[in-house]
Chains A and B, each alone.
Chain A
Amino acid sequence: EPEVTQTPSHQVTQMGQEVILRCVPISNHLYFYWYRQILGQKVEFLVSFYNNEISEKSEIFDDQFSVERPDGSNFTLKIRSTKLEDSAMYFCASRRREGRGANVLTFGAGSRLTVL
């Protein structure tokens, strides 16, 4: 079964450092998402991406965050200068545009970010 792949599974970084989280969505999917989950809390929407541009972003997704689809397969989330409160699990998700299951988001296994 096709899956969304995320790397790294766990990254530890120092406060103020830049971090790039990578995702390879399912190949025929056209909508891409990043979500964040602070340990033990709800899953929060960060940003959605379609047709090579951001279609929606939350208030969490400030100027420190950016997303990119550099090569048509990878979908990256960059945090420019990490803060302690960025420590969380980051989930990438994707979905199709049309057809049965187009409304279903498939999630990656997550990238755990620890900021020290």
Chain B
Amino acid sequence: AQTVTQSQPEMSVQEAETVTLSCTYDTSENNYYLFWYKQPPSRQMILVIRQEAYKQQNATENRFSVNFQKAAKSFSLKISDSQLGDTAMYFCAFPSNTGKLIFGQGTTLQVKP
């Protein structure tokens, strides 16, 4: 079965600091994508970053980057220079072989001033 696990229900970070959110997954697929979505208090789901499994280079989008360890099936999100607007719930997600996204349980991130 394909599963996604986020083991940190809540995290906090000081403004301007760096924080890393963890995600592990399980799949027998070899070629796939991984995603991080952000859900701010408005509850909209916003794509933050995606990683293609066949690419060894870690994806980067401005202050957001991932540490993708394919063998370990780990896909963590690093947020550098944290800003107050980064306060949100973050979901790791993995598309099943039928195309639907499987989400982790989410990590609530609080950025403190």
Contacts and interface: CB of A to CB of B under 8 A. Distances in A.
Nearest to B104: A42
Contact of A55 (B33, B35, B50, B98): B98
Task: Say which size band chain A's interface belongs to.
Answer: 20 to 34
Task: Say which size band chain B's interface belongs to.
Answer: 20 to 34
Contacts of B102: 45
Contacts of A110: 43-45
A48 B104 contact: no
B95 A43 contact: no
Interface in B40-98: 42-47, 50, 91, 95, 98
Interface of B: 33, 35, 37, 42-47, 50, 91, 95, 98-106
Interface of A: 31, 33, 35, 37, 41-45, 48, 55-56, 89, 91, 93, 95, 103-107, 109-110, 112
